[in-house]
């Protein structure tokens, strides 16, 4: 009995050992299948979640880009393009207007001067501070303005002043014909149109520009300007780049503050024509190429205020001028000539008081010129000095000028014509084009009444910057 029980127990154990591996294998396979199913389901959920995340990210990126575009479209964008590199006027800061009103330019120039002449006090002078603001609401519509503060302004010194020097609007039609109106620079000679301190290579302005063109000379008026490419139009093979340009205006007439020291104080009123006679002034330029231009100018009108004692029926005034601008390599030559003719028997009133009895006969003529050669150079050995280091294209300029002016006596207590001559020799340094340090020596001589410096010799130095 016991024996049979032991044999049966042994047989059952062996049978159990044989069945368990089979059951274990089946359970493991089921477990693997469940895990695989869970994994596939998890991966599918992960992919769906990732797709939703990507979709949300794309929407956020699109929304961010749209927001950035809107901000950019509504933001003011400013870029410094350089003093004379803008699309219109002068002013190196170009501002893109987000309102759709077009571009705006902002700039200007300033200078400080030092002088030391014989029998005079040496002095510093903050001579000019000028702000330029221009606008281009449309590619054919322009506005340009200059506001000038001289010698610190009217409250800083007896000779200080603040005024609008230019404020005009232009309507562009084509290259040959465009319209302009407002306060304009009078195109009598070339210097009056290009007188900014940062452009000039000498500190002192020419005598003829100050006494015979009263630089800076501006008037209120209306006119036209344009340019013809005659070389291309006429098929000139020898002068393919030749051109004609012009600028002409009808402006308010001059007052009677004229003397044998020049036209310095003779300007028309901006707000009204004081002599009720319009004047015509214009300049015609002929360029054989972009390095050689000759110009001729003319002014025809009357002087004296309406009702003034000087208005005796002999108040016609005629002025003519000529100019040259030549460049060849490092060499440059500029110059202006001017001549004024007063009607015989004309009267002038020095103090503009319109009181009969203190007027005198007008000078029969005023004439003068200046010629200014320049030589631009840069020695390479200066590249590694403080003068050249860090600057892309620094420049030194050796410059001289000869001035001559002759003004007939105006019938006062003087003794004959007033004449003044000046020779100037200077050297200037430009680390960049629109920043210049100038040093010069003047030798002056005069006859009779003093026009500018008389017989005083001296030195001048200045620093000018355009921006």
Residue of 334, 427, 332 lying closest to 374 (CA atoms): 332
Strands 218-228 and 243-251: antiparallel
* Least confident span in 19-28, 224-233, 298-307, 353-362: 19-28
pLDDT digits (tens, 9 = 90+) for 91-113: 888 888 776 667 889 999 999 99
Across the range 393-417, mean pLDDT stands at 91
Residue 156 pLDDT = 78
Instruction: Name the band, by pLDDT with cuts 50, 70 and 90, for residue 462.
Output: very high
Across the range 353-374, mean pLDDT stands at 86
Of the two residues 17 and 196, the one the predictor is more confident about is: 196
Q: Which residues lie across from 398 on neighbouring strands? A: 375, 427
Of the two residues 268 and 423, the one the predictor is more confident about is: 423
What CA–CA distance (Å, rounded) separates 36 from 38?
Answer: 5
* Preceding peptide of 103 cis, ω within 30°: no
Residue 344 pLDDT = 87
What CA–CA distance (Å, rounded) separates 133 from 194?
Answer: 17
What CA–CA distance (Å, rounded) separates 191 from 283?
Answer: 12
Query: For residue 263, how many C-alpha atoms fall within 13 Å in the half-sphere facing its CB?
Result: 32
Across the range 418-433, mean pLDDT stands at 97
Q: Which residues contact 104 (CB under 8 A, 6 or more apart)?
A: 94, 95, 97, 133, 134, 135, 136
pLDDT digits (tens, 9 = 90+) for 56-90: 878 777 767 765 665 555 567 888 888 887 777 78
Residue 66 pLDDT = 66
Residue 309 pLDDT = 73
Write the CA distances from 269 to 145, 147, 265, 330, integer angstroms. Answer: 18, 17, 12, 42
Burial (Cβ within 10 Å: 0-12, 13-18, ≥19) of residue 10: exposed
Across the range 455-466, mean pLDDT stands at 97
Residue of 84, 77, 135 lying closest to 109 (CA atoms): 84
Q: How many CB atoms lie within 10 A of CB 63?
A: 10
Instruction: Name the band, by pLDDT with cuts 50, 70 and 90, for residue 45.
Output: confident
* Least confident span in 25-34, 231-240, 323-332: 25-34
What CA–CA distance (Å, rounded) separates 317 from 343?
Answer: 6
Residue 5 pLDDT = 54
Residue 223 pLDDT = 98
Of the two residues 155 and 373, the one the predictor is more confident about is: 373
Query: Among positive and negative, which fits the CA dihedral 248, 251, 256, 257?
Result: negative
* Contact between 334 and 190 (Cβ < 8 Å): yes
Residue of 185, 129, 191 lying closest to 466 (CA atoms): 129
Q: Which residues lie across from 371 on neighbouring strands? A: 335, 402
* φ and ψ of 326, to 5 deg: -130, 135
Instruction: Name the band, by pLDDT with cuts 50, 70 and 90, for residue 356.
Output: low
Does the structure show a pLDDT above 60 at 11?
no
Residue 329 pLDDT = 95
Residue 277 pLDDT = 86
Mean of the per-residue pLDDT values for the chain? 87
465: which 2 tokens?
Answer: 């910057």
* Least confident span in 169-183, 203-217, 326-340, 405-419: 405-419
Does the structure show a pLDDT above 70 at 362?
yes
* Contact between 135 and 95 (Cβ < 8 Å): no
Q: Residue ranges of the alpha helices (H) in 139-281? A: 207-211, 230-234
* Contact between 402 and 426 (Cβ < 8 Å): no
Across the range 7-12, mean pLDDT stands at 56
E strands along 241-329, which residues? 243-251, 279-289, 292-302, 316-328
What CA–CA distance (Å, rounded) separates 381 from 262?
Answer: 47
* φ and ψ of 404, to 5 deg: -150, 130
Q: How many CB atoms lie within 10 A of CB 294?
A: 15
What CA–CA distance (Å, rounded) separates 275 from 308?
Answer: 9
């Amino acid at each position: 009995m016991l024996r049979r029980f032991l044999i049966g127990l042994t047989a059952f154990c062996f049978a159990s050992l044989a069945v368990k591996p089979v059951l274990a294998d089946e359970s493991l396979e089921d477990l693997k299948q469940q895990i695989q199913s869970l994994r596939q389901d998890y991966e599918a959920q992960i992919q769906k979640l990732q797709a939703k995340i990507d979709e949300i990210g794309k929407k956020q990126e699109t929304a961010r880009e749209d927001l950035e575009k809107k901000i950019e479209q509504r933001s003011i964008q400013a870029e410094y393009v350089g003093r004379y590199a803008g699309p219109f006027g002068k002013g190196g800061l170009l501002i893109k207007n987000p309102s759709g009103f077009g571009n705006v330019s902002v700039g200007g120039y300033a200078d400080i001067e030092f002088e030391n002449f014989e029998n005079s006090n040496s002095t510093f002078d903050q001579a000019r501070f000028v702000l330029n603001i221009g606008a281009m609401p449309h590619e054919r519509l322009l506005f340009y303005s200059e506001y000038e503060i001289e010698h610190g302004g009217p409250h800083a010194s007896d000779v200080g002043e603040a005024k609008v020097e230019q404020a005009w609007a232009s309507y562009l039609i084509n290259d040959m014909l465009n319209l302009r109106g407002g306060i304009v620079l009078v195109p009598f000679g070339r210097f009056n149109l290009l007188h900014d301190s940062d452009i000039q290579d000498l500190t002192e302005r020419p005598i003829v520009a100050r006494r015979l063109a009263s630089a800076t000379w501006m008037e209120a008026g209306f006119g036209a300007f344009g340019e013809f490419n005659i070389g291309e139009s006429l098929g000139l093979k020898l002068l393919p780049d030749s051109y004609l340009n012009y600028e002409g205006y009808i402006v308010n007439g001059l007052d009677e503050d004229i003397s044998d020291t020049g036209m310095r104080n003779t300007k028309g009123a901006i707000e009204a024509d004081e002599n009720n006679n319009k004047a015509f002034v214009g300049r015609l330029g002929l360029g054989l190429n972009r390095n050689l231009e000759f110009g001729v100018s003319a002014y025809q009108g009357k002087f004296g205020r309406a009702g003034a004692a000087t208005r005796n029926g002999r108040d016609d005034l005629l002025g003519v001028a000529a100019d040259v601008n030549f460049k060849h390599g490092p060499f440059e030559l500029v110059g202006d000539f001017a001549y004024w003719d007063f009607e015989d028997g004309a009267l002038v009133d020095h103090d503009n008081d319109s009181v009969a009895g203190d007027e005198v006969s007008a000078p029969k003529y005023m004439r003068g010129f200046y010629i200014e050669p320049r030589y631009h150079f840069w020695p390479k050995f200066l590249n590694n000095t403080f003068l050249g280091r860090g600057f892309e294209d620094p420049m030194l300029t050796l410059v001289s000028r000869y001035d001559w002016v002759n003004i007939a006596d105006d019938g006062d207590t003087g003794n004959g014509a007033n004449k003044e001559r000046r020779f100037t020799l200077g050297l200037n340094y430009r680390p960049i084009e629109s920043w210049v340090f100038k040093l010069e020596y003047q030798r002056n001589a005069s006859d009779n009444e003093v026009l500018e410096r008389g017989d005083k010799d001296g030195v001048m130095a200045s620093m000018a910057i355009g921006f």
